[in-house]
Amino acid sequence: MAEPAPTLYEWAGGAPAFERLTEVFYRRVKADELLIPLFEHMPDDHPAHVATWLAEVFGGPASYTREHGGYPHMMRKHLGRGIRPEQRARWVQLIGEAADEAGLPDDPEFRSAFMAYVEWGSRIALANSQPGAEPPPEAPVPRWGWGEAPPYTP
């Protein structure tokens, strides 16, 4: 019987991989003229919290839910922020570049799954950030998987 495919969290390298990713990413964000207005008052621990969120989303421990309140907490962080479409697109671009610099796996299957979540999640954040948005107050943290193409290991 074949071994089950590892989670995206495991394939990426666990918590250290997502911590590297968010450190690199938010360093880039702080230097980006388009994004800095959204993040200029970001607390110092924000990258660590996002790393914990991403780790949970990609199949790691439910630490974000336990420590921060899960989806309701994350959703509230975006309410009223007024993210613009070009800011969302830059966010996606920079996190993809940060994944390269942070040494996340670059195989097509992992990157496809990773970027699918980034696109999906950033579009949810964009919608929830608009004036008058009324996102559901409760929902589970999404648990992102491989989709149709689990990793191939000969």
pLDDT digits (tens, 9 = 90+) for 38-74: 999 989 999 999 999 999 999 999 999 999 999 988 8
* pLDDT tens-place string over residues 75-112: 888 889 999 999 999 999 999 999 999 999 999 999 99
**Sequence spans of domains, the chain:** 8-128
Burial class of residue 94, CB neighbours in 10 A (0-12, 13-18, 19+): buried
Q: pTM for the full model?
A: 0.92
CATH class of 8-128: mainly alpha
State residue 5 phi and psi, 5-degree precision: -65, 145
Answer yes or no: are the C-beta atoms of 136 and 66 closer than 8 Å: no
Let me know the angle formed at the C-alpha of 137 by 135 and 121, rounded to the nearest 5 degrees: 50
Q: Both tokens of residue 2?
A: 């074949």
Please tell me the predicted confidence (pLDDT) of residue 102. Answer: 98
Answer yes or no: are the C-beta atoms of 17 and 104 closer than 8 Å: yes
